[in-house]
Structure 1
Amino acid sequence: MTAGRVILCADDYALSPGVSRGIAELIEAGRLSATGAMTTEPGWLDLAEAVATLRRHAAIGLHLNLTTGAPLGAMPRTLPSGKFDGIGAMMRQTRNGSADAEEIAAEIERQLDRFEDVAGAPPDFVDGHHHVHILPVIRPALLAALARRYPDTLPLVRDPGDNPIRILARRRSLVKALGVAFLARGLAADARRLGLPTNDGFSGFSRFDRAVPFAREMADFLRAPGPRQMVMCHPGYPDEILRPLDPLFERRGEELETLKAFPADRIVHLERDGGGRIRWPS
């Protein structure tokens, strides 16, 4: 990958109309490399035309959701309430054995099916809302599903871990970044055993502190990049309906405006081969 350039990936596409619109504008302006879609959100079903356009300019992946809102199908043993209870609850369940492996695997399949129903193609990559894809029970189920379903396309699996030396060089949100790196240890090796590619280097952890401008955080995210660095972000137009529900409500607009002015030559612009597959940088 060209030195100084990163794969810039926006999370939460389809979370709301404003978030989707902001991400689409950035992709069309050449200010994003990729975005991950939440197929559990009702708005995803209305985005087929938009996704077809965005796929010409960026990688479109599945932002696997097992923490927010409700699943696409019943999970009575794992979720008796019928709703996700957040990342903390899912972490406990995958550790104590109360997350049912069959139910998790079935929900992963449903979200992949829903992605294909709208996008008309397999996901270019897969990651997790709140990085849920790195957890026990979920990780093996996801990797097995991707290898079985897509042997000819092999989606990239986003590795949110990074070398501790690189993380420390970025100075901010160290506890969060190091904690996720600990939980993600071994993910790249697990994916490689199944032929699935991953990024090499990851940043974008924010404290979402309004006292720290996003532009300053973005400068830190770019420090000490790995050879295939992926940077996550959360831009969008804040929708009033999300105000009581979205902890990033105020921050999304600031990220959007900052990224509109971000130098396009610092971003990896991904292309597709003749078969429609994304060419990930080596």
Structure 2
Amino acid sequence: MAKGFILCADDFAMTDGVSRAILDLLGRGKLTATGAMTNRPHWRRLAPELAAFAGRADLGLHLNLTCAAPLSPMPRLAPAGALPGLKEVARAAVASATARAEIAAEIVRQLDAFEEALGRPPDFVDGHQHVHVLPGVRRALLDILARRYPAGALYVRDPADSAAAIRARGVAVGKALVIAGLAAGFRRAALRRELHVNRGFSGVAPFDPQRDFGADLLRFLVAAGPLHLVMCHPGFADEELRELDPVVATRPVEHAALAAFAPPPDMPLRRFRDLLG
């Protein structure tokens, strides 16, 4: 039985507006985790503000291989200096040993950037657009984490759940099923390396600004797993976001709904370690 759930905001440091919205929600106690894009130029400036929430929320790395620029040159994957889209990363990670080597090196750089700014390892690692579970990426990531950190020191996000749970929630069902299929085997691979993994995942959304996101938050708790994680994407829209990411209009909607959200009494907001017991 679920003892509560983690509510995690993705994309910290993507833009100033996204980051300010997340910091606002952390300050209100409305989130229990957030993942940071440490390749973004906002990261070092905003990291001290995020560090203030250590111990109150899980602070993690939101591995980014598909948005803006890498931390160092990646001639095979990003020859012009900009990271490609998800489909190109997926193809290259399977087809090219050179691309896989570049991805592994970028994973290390992004982890280094997290630790250098916060002075501590991440509480968890996940991926922008779930890139961390892609074949050709997942092995490199999990091997690096297993070598770099003690067993059980952090957790990784498994963005899969059962088809029955996904259908019961009734939100972006097709999209959630595709992501679950993409993540097949990820949990087993992480556990083999003695990495913690969430059990239960929701938050896949259609990014429709006309939807009632507050109602969707309650739907995301249907058939919750024992280590359940709900992702979200709040933000304040600005010109930088409009130029960088297709998800713009729904971010302020999510922020407002999260600010007003009161979890059910039997499903409190928790950090991952609290759910582990």
| TM-score, with structure 2 as normaliser | 0.93
**Paired residue for 1:82?**
81
**Paired residue for 1:201?**
200
**Paired residue for 1:182?**
181
Deviates more, 1:157-166 or 1:205-214: 205-214
**Paired residue for 2:33?**
34
**Paired residue for 1:168?**
167
Does residue 271 of structure 2 align to residue 281 of structure 1? no
Change in CA separation of 1:152 and 1:198 when aligned onto 2, cut-off 3 Å? closer
Residue 167 of structure 1 aligns to a residue whose secondary structure is helix
**Paired residue for 1:8?**
7
Deviation (angstroms), 1:42: 0.3
Does residue 203 of structure 2 align to residue 220 of structure 1? no
Residue 243 of structure 2 aligns to a residue whose secondary structure is coil
Mapping 1:1-282, distance limit 5 Å: 3=3, 5-97=4-96, 100-151=99-150, 154-263=153-262, 266-270=267-271, 278-282=273-277
**Paired residue for 1:275?**
none
List per-residue Cα deviations over 1:171-219 (Å, max 9, x = no partner).
1211111111111111111111111000001000111112322123222
Residue 100 of structure 1 aligns to a residue whose secondary structure is helix
Matches of 2:254 and 2:187 in 1, distance apart? 29
Change in CA separation of 1:181 and 1:254 when aligned onto 2, cut-off 3 Å? same
Deviation (angstroms), 1:99: 6.0
Deviation (angstroms), 1:48: 3.1
Alpha-carbon contact 2:159-2:201 (below 8 Å) kept: yes
Matches of 2:241 and 2:124 in 1, distance apart? 26
Quick one: percent identity of the two aligned structures? 47
What amino acid is the match of 2:17? G
Alpha-carbon contact 1:31-1:267 (below 8 Å) kept: no
Alpha-carbon contact 1:61-1:125 (below 8 Å) kept: yes
Change in CA separation of 1:174 and 1:225 when aligned onto 2, cut-off 3 Å? same
| Structure 1 residue ranges without an equivalent (≥5) | 272-277
Deviation (angstroms), 1:107: 0.5
Change in CA separation of 1:111 and 1:234 when aligned onto 2, cut-off 3 Å? same
Matches of 1:170 and 1:145 in 2, distance apart? 34
Alpha-carbon contact 1:8-1:267 (below 8 Å) kept: no
Residue 196 of structure 2 aligns to a residue whose secondary structure is coil
Deviates more, 1:108-117 or 1:150-159: 150-159
Change in CA separation of 1:267 and 1:233 when aligned onto 2, cut-off 3 Å? farther
Alpha-carbon contact 1:12-1:37 (below 8 Å) kept: yes
Deviation (angstroms), 1:152: 5.6
Change in CA separation of 1:51 and 1:57 when aligned onto 2, cut-off 3 Å? same
Alpha-carbon contact 1:7-1:268 (below 8 Å) kept: yes
Deviates more, 1:207-216 or 1:23-32: 207-216
List per-residue Cα deviations over 1:78-118 (Å, max 9, x = no partner).
22222111112112222333762211110000000000011
Residue 232 of structure 1 aligns to a residue whose secondary structure is strand
Residue 132 of structure 1 aligns to a residue whose secondary structure is helix
Deviation (angstroms), 1:270: 2.6
Matches of 2:151 and 2:194 in 1, distance apart? 10
Alpha-carbon contact 1:11-1:35 (below 8 Å) kept: yes
Deviation (angstroms), 1:140: 0.6
Matches of 1:20 and 1:218 in 2, distance apart? 21
What amino acid is the match of 1:144? D
Residue 7 of structure 1 aligns to a residue whose secondary structure is strand
| TM-score, with structure 1 as normaliser | 0.92
List per-residue Cα deviations over 1:217-273 (Å, max 9, x = no partner).
2222121111111000001222233223332222111111111111155443338xx
Alpha-carbon contact 1:147-1:154 (below 8 Å) kept: no
